[in-house]
Structure 1
Amino acid sequence: MNKEIEDYYQKYGQKVYAYLISICREPDTAQDLTQETFLQALRSLNKFDNKCSVCTWLCQIAKFLWLKELKRRKYHPSVSKEPDIEELDISIIPPDDQTESTDTKMYILRQIHELPEREKEILLLRATGAMSFEEIGQLFGKNASWARVTYYRAKQKLRKE
């Protein structure tokens, strides 16, 4: 493997995985897509133009691969399985000062997944610590202020519940 991609994997592998888990909610799929993301990055490394951060570029590749996977599942419905909420890894929700019960965490996770897709992605990316507001803004083709405002509004929606 290219040394540069190995370095990227060491530096950004967890962030890409956290991003994928936030959008697909399937740990095995997220792991597979993380590996595929870095394989695709290796193939297109010469096309990277530094218009965005490396992490943003990798997450854009990851998102493309996830959309491709969804399209594949559409044509092969037996492959598509909506994860059971009880099977989800809730460790992506950072613990508060007080330990919350599993039921409370599951309730919060259900509420997060009822948010509009964009807000859900941004909330989970921040909650997992996967990306800064600047990186989230770049990922969506916006700026850091937009990412902050969208994150704030998503949190407000959750608080109302």
Structure 2
Amino acid sequence: MEDMQKVYQQHAQTVYKFLLAQCRDPGLAEELTQETFYQAVKSVDRFDGSCKVSVWLCQIAKHLWFQHLRKQKREAPVLPEDLPESPGPSAEESVLEQEGRMDLLKLVHNLPESQREVVYLRAFGGLSFREIGDVCGRTETWARVTFYRSKEKLKNGGASDEE
């Protein structure tokens, strides 16, 4: 069990960043991170060492994220009036502070799924191209090319026909 504690200490931040990039909700990312390590403990005997531990954990996290999304689709959506208001900076300050960031996130969100996933894994998850390739079941070269094309598409305001 000490080994799993060491694995948790070494990789929890990577898994958390990966999940946060996917869901953009710190609480949910934390919950899914914990569930990722719980599932890893349950299935540690199936880890064959063919990839890095961080890649294996991100694959588990990705599966849990998709499972969460499928579950959310089955549940009724939360209406905006049901959400609590949170105090913070004025609306004007918030708009000025986050306008550029939101524009970029919208552009990233509108990328094709494979490009969006690579950008999230690289920019927000901090994974190497090799790890991204492993998580996506592709090559390191594919991850590099996809990331480059995604960046070019974002520089052009998201306009491009290629995937």
Alignment TM-score, normalising by the size of structure 1:
0.81
Q: Which runs of 4+ in 1 moved over 3 A?
A: 78-81
**2:127 equivalent to 1:131:** yes
TM-superposed CA distance for 1:8, in Å, is 1.2
Paired residue type of 1:147: A
| Mapped contact 1:73–1:79 kept (Cα < 8 A) | no
Match of 2:51 in 1: 52
TM-superposed CA distance for 1:55, in Å, is 0.7
TM-superposed CA distance for 1:103, in Å, is 1.6
**2:68 equivalent to 1:72:** no
- Per-residue CA deviations over 1:41-87 (Å, capped at 9, x if unaligned) read 01111111011110110011001111111121122224799xxxxx9
| Mapped contact 2:18–2:125 kept (Cα < 8 A) | no
Paired residue type of 2:115: E
The verdict on how the C-alpha distance between 1:79 and 1:12 changes in structure 2, with shifts beyond 3 A counting, is farther
| Mapped contact 1:41–1:58 kept (Cα < 8 A) | yes
Percent identity between the aligned chains? 43
Uncovered stretches (5+) of structure 1, i.e. residues with no partner: 82-86, 88-99
Structure-1 separation of matches of 2:44 and 2:14? 19
Higher Cα Rg: structure 1 or 2?
2
Structure-1 separation of matches of 2:13 and 2:46? 23
Match of 1:9 in 2: 8
Paired residue type of 1:151: F
Return 40-49 or 128-137, whichever deviates more: 128-137
| Mapped contact 1:19–1:59 kept (Cα < 8 A) | yes
- Per-residue CA deviations over 1:6-62 (Å, capped at 9, x if unaligned) read 111111111111111122222211110000000110111111101111011001100
Alignment TM-score, normalising by the size of structure 2:
0.80
Match of 1:36 in 2: 35
Q: Over aligned residues, Cα RMSD in angstroms?
A: 2.1
TM-superposed CA distance for 1:148, in Å, is 0.2
Structure-2 separation of matches of 1:143 and 1:72? 31
Which one of the candidate residues 145, 148, 156 is aligned to 2:141?
145
TM-superposed CA distance for 1:138, in Å, is 0.5
Structure-1 separation of matches of 2:2 and 2:40? 12
Matched positions, count: 143
Uncovered stretches (5+) of structure 2, i.e. residues with no partner: 81-85, 87-95, 158-163
- Per-residue CA deviations over 1:105-133 (Å, capped at 9, x if unaligned) read 22111111111222112112211352100
